[in-house]
Amino acid sequence: MSAPPARSPRVGVWLIGARGSVATTVVAGCAALTAGLHPPTGLVTEGPEFADSGLPALSSLVFGGHDTTDCPLPKRAEQLAAGGVMPHRLPVAVAAELAAADREITTGGPLPGDTRTAEELIAAFTEDLRGFVRRNDLARAVVVNVASTEPVATGDDLPPSSLYAAAALRAGCPYVNFTPSTGLHHPALAGRAAAGGLPYAGRDGKTGQTLLRAALGPMFAQRALAVRAWSGTNLLGGGDGAALADPAAAAAKNAGKERVLADTLGTVPEGEVHIDDVPALGDWKTAWDHIAFDGFLGTRMVLQTTWQGCDSALAAPLVLDLARLVARAHETGRSGPLGELAFFFKDPVGTAPAALAAQYAELVDFARQLGETR
């Protein structure tokens, strides 16, 4: 498994959206695994392929972050346990770790009525990050955006996700964008990202429907089956459903989903993707896909898939994986877009294959390389 925790220097994980469902599950889950309360199901980096990569141990991770709400993490964890996202006794069992992370959560912004300029906000966030590193004597801190999806940015102004990303650059922190929000993908940040000497990864974690599409698309291509229409409907409860019911926010998400099909199939099939806000589903989501394809001599066939998952439970271990991998990439001196982490994303940075198996092969190879660097 991972390297002995005793010798690991401490590594920070700074979560944008630190009081959300994903962040809360990340903090509680890391504590549960460190305490041996649960096996590391869903955590890719606990597999044998990563044992010698020099990744920071789970026990060495220190959590903090920005958020604009103020519900304490222990209370959020109680809410998630009531909704079945985590076991009922877990919030109590890891109460100390939740409280510790809660103390490292700072108010982000801009808040309603906030009159600070973009530069002032970036400066404030940068100072928050530096304080986190200093207070906790961290070898480094990785900034991970797990906030609700923003509407697609229009105009020149930096959206909030980009303000946080700019602060990460300025504070010398590697950056991961687990959402489809703009983050580092803003023209005004391109130069800084290139010059910053920091590794970064994103966008938009691949946790359900798109994960499936990345696994199934190559099957159709390899078998020379002609996909004519690939239609999908997502039913989401929780905050994500409400955020994505905004067509502008959904547009960002859907672009990633379509890219996966185009890249794995080589063509863009007919079909739309819907994202519905269904509060009754709570933290659960259901994705239905209907794939109409032609076989030999034009025979029409259909595959349907229904994926019922808990978004936070799917996302949280990947956030831990990414924080560990990007921290190690930073430690080994890598910089720029980490295309090797495309396995985790709908719309990966850098150059990367689209087929899930090929992405996994690249990831395993990257893990090996990380281990070779001293």
Asked whether 346 and 71 are in contact (CB, 8 A), the reply is no
Q: Is the dihedral of CA 308, 267, 356, 181 positive or negative?
A: negative
Dihedral class, residue 297 (left if φ above 0, else alpha if ψ from -120 to 50, else beta):
left
Residue 6 in contact with its own copies, rule: CB under 8 A: no
Which residues are CB-contacts of 366 (< 8 A; sequence separation ≥ 6)? 325, 338, 340, 341
Nearer to its own copies, 308 or 373 (CB): 308
Question: Cβ(121)–Cβ(68) under 8 Å?
Answer: no
Choose which of 51, 95, 118, 226 interacts with its own copies (CB under 8 A): 226
Query: What is the C-alpha radius of gyration for the chain, rounded to an integer number of angstroms?
Result: 20
Residues 312 and 28: their CA atoms lie apart, in Å, by 12
119 is written with which tokens? 């530069």
Q: What residues form DSSP beta bridges with 201?
A: 176
CB nearer to its own copies: give 133 or 292: 292
Q: Is 170 in the site for its own copies (CB under 8 A)?
A: no
The three-state secondary structure class of 183 is coil
* Contact call for residue 267 and its own copies (CB under 8 A): no
H-assigned helices in 104-208: 118-135, 160-171, 187-195
Please tell me whether residue 229 binds its own copies under the rule CB under 8 A: yes
Considering only residues 324 to 363 of the shown chain, the ones binding its own copies according to CB under 8 A are 343, 355-358, 360
Shortest distance (Å) from residue 52 CB to its own copies: 17
Residues 6+ apart with CB under 8 A from 89: 81
- Nearest distance in Å: CB 321, its own copies: 9
Q: Which of residues 68-87 bind its own copies (CB under 8 A)?
A: 82, 84-87
Report the residue from 69, 117, 304, 373 that binds its own copies according to the rule CB under 8 A.
304
Is 278 near its own copies (CB under 8 A)? yes
- Minimum CB separation of residue 131 from its own copies in Å reads 30
Instruction: Choose which of 154, 155, 280, 333 interacts with its own copies (CB under 8 A).
Output: 280
Q: Is 233 in the site for its own copies (CB under 8 A)?
A: yes
Residue 195 found at the interface with its own copies (CB under 8 A): no
Q: Among residues 34, 59, 136, 231, which is the contact residue for its own copies, using CB under 8 A?
A: 231
Options 141, 184, 313, 338; binder of its own copies; rule CB under 8 A: 313
The correct pick among 195, 306, 368, 373 for binding its own copies (CB under 8 A) is 306
Question: According to the binding rule CB under 8 A, does residue 124 interact with its own copies?
Answer: no
What minimum distance in Å lies between the beta carbon of 363 and its own copies? 8
- Determine, following the binding rule CB under 8 A, whether residue 224 of this chain makes contact with its own copies: yes
211 makes contact with its own copies (CB under 8 A): yes
Instruction: Tell me whether residue 327 is exposed, middle or buried, using C-beta atoms within 10 angstroms of its C-beta: 0 to 12, 13 to 18, 19 or more.
Output: buried
Amino acid at 170: R
Beta bridge partners of 143: 14, 175
Pick one of 69, 107, 117, 222: the residue that binds its own copies (CB under 8 A).
222
Task: For strands 226-236 and 273-277, give the pairing.
Answer: parallel
